[in-house]
Amino acid sequence: MEAPASSRGGGGPASLVQVVMTEVRHRRAVILLAFVAFVSLGLPDGVLGVAWPSIRATFHQPISRIAWLLGAGTCGYLLSSFFSGQIIRARGVGELLVGSCVLASGALAGFALAPAWVALPAFGFIGGLAGGAIDAGINTFAADRFSARIVNWLHAFWGVGATLGPLLITAVLAAHQPWRVGYGILAAGLGVLAVLFTLTRGWWQLGHDSAGDPAPATARVGESLRQLTVVLHAALFLVYAGVESTAGQLLYSLFTEARGIAPPVAGIVVGAYWAALTSGRILFGQVATRVSRRSVVRIGTVLAPCAAGLLLCRDVPVIGMGGAVLLGFALAPIFPTLISLTPQRVGPYFAPQAVGFQVAGAAVGSAVFPGLVGLLARRFSLEVLGVHLLAAALVLLALHELGPWRRPRPPQ
């Protein structure tokens, strides 16, 4: 971070120490705030599933109407994440984060106060806009300014938020409070985060913007989409997120409905899958300090097909369940480490747009792949899940190892 103007130049060793200490405090504060932001990103993701029975009872809606909320949120998320690079180009990361948190707080407050069902998809769309922008903005900054270890830990904190969200709404309902109270608490929390981002918005400058240039030289949407490396990176994220989301959403159904495993056991296995994903990011964050980031991604992309292959073993249930947990561990470092690799792979000129495309691609994969497997399972059987995960993991490995990763040149 840039040191305060009053402490630059002259002053001798004492002044230099003061500048260094200021830089260290700023960096720690930014990292801490980024951790909090990732927890806040994960919180709403797990809330809807627990709150939905109460929400639909309030508004007298069928269970299928949850698709309206999910679809609206996904559309908003895609729109804002895809164009986040353009927003960063115009306004900077700091203002993007402030505006997004204000939107997120307003959307959650809208859920808490909604007088009729018709308002919820609209607020879901606004919440998706906010979530996509926060996700892309924080990841763009993290890729530019943080090490691979910190980026992996940031994404582990998303898992913390995704775990705490359902616990929060469960506690609210267990206390015989309406579901609206839970959304009100989340709205207040995002409001506090918006205030924190407002107070620190000058700290969220990209590296090539550290001199205070209000309009850093970054690519436009069109010229970024013409770069093969940028498009390939987005494809990697699409396939990765498709594997992660499909496994997380359908493993329980595979174990209980197709293989006759007791629901409590299947629930523990799925929980262990997510726990392995979160703890793996903490572990691989430390590994990334000793080996190259490309090697860390390679470990994950090689392990993932092996784990998916174990899932195909239905005759020995413990092997299939072990494969599920191993898959979570294998996937752990791929998303965050690829994010941290983006500026190196595409250069700082294209990086803000590339990260936005990657986050948008992940949203597409998370939405499309589970639905596709669901359609195939209805036609054949749930055992198609293992085949799909193996095939997708092999595609992920091939994309990473065979892709022509040529760093594009920015215009002169």
Residue 353 forms part of a structural domain: yes
Distance CA 136, CA 96 (A): 10
Is a pLDDT exceeding 80 seen at residue 208?
no
Confidence of residue 18 (pLDDT cuts 50, 70, 90): low
Q: What is the mean pLDDT of the chain?
A: 84
Is a pLDDT exceeding 50 seen at residue 214?
no
H or E stretch at 406:
none
Domain boundary among 147, 176, 205: 205
Distance CA 181, CA 164 (A): 15
Q: Residue 269 in contact with residue 248, Cβ under 8 Å? A: no
Same domain for 51 and 133, yes or no, is yes
Looking at the structure of the chain, the number of domains it has is 2
What is the CATH classification number for the domain harbouring 264?
1.20.1250.20
pLDDT for 109: 95
Q: Mind giving me the DSSP string for 29-61?
A: HHHHHHHHHHHHHHHHHHHHHHHHHHHHHHHT-
Confidence of residue 15 (pLDDT cuts 50, 70, 90): low
Residue 52 forms part of a structural domain: yes
Is a pLDDT exceeding 50 seen at residue 166?
yes
Confidence of residue 395 (pLDDT cuts 50, 70, 90): very high
- Give backbone dihedrals phi and psi of 250, rounded to 5 degrees, phi first: -115, -10
Distance CA 55, CA 61 (A): 8
**Which pTM value belongs to this model?**
0.78
Same domain for 102 and 197, yes or no, is yes
Q: Average pLDDT, stretch 152-163?
A: 82
pLDDT for 12: 58
Residue 294 forms part of a structural domain: yes
pLDDT for 3: 41
Residue span of the structural domain in which 182 resides: 10-205
pLDDT for 212: 46
pLDDT for 380: 86
Same domain for 174 and 242, yes or no, is no
Place of tokens 């402490």: 7
Residue 185 forms part of a structural domain: yes
pLDDT for 13: 59
Q: Average pLDDT, stretch 356-367?
A: 88
Same domain for 185 and 277, yes or no, is no
Q: Average pLDDT, stretch 149-156?
A: 85
pLDDT for 11: 53
Same domain for 239 and 366, yes or no, is yes
DSSP 8-state symbol, 257: I
H or E stretch at 233:
helix 228-253
Same domain for 323 and 356, yes or no, is yes
Confidence of residue 188 (pLDDT cuts 50, 70, 90): very high
Distance CA 409, CA 235 (A): 20
Same domain for 188 and 56, yes or no, is yes
Domain boundary among 139, 173, 205: 205
pLDDT for 148: 83
Domain boundary among 156, 174, 205: 205
Same domain for 44 and 151, yes or no, is yes
* % of the chain beyond a pLDDT of 90: 27
Same domain for 139 and 196, yes or no, is yes
What is the rounded radius of gyration, in angstroms, for the C-alpha atoms of the chain? 22
Residue 3 forms part of a structural domain: no
Same domain for 254 and 392, yes or no, is yes
Helix (H, G, I), strand (E, B) or coil at 82: helix
Residue 338 forms part of a structural domain: yes
Residue 2 forms part of a structural domain: no
* Number of neighbours of residue 64 by Cβ within 10 angstroms: 8
Residue 410 forms part of a structural domain: no
Q: Residue 119 in contact with residue 96, Cβ under 8 Å? A: no
Place of tokens 């992996």: 152
DSSP 8-state symbol, 332: T
Q: Average pLDDT, stretch 112-136?
A: 91
Same domain for 53 and 131, yes or no, is yes
Residue that wins the pLDDT comparison between 276 and 64: 276
Same domain for 293 and 189, yes or no, is no
* % of the chain beyond a pLDDT of 70: 90
pLDDT for 93: 84
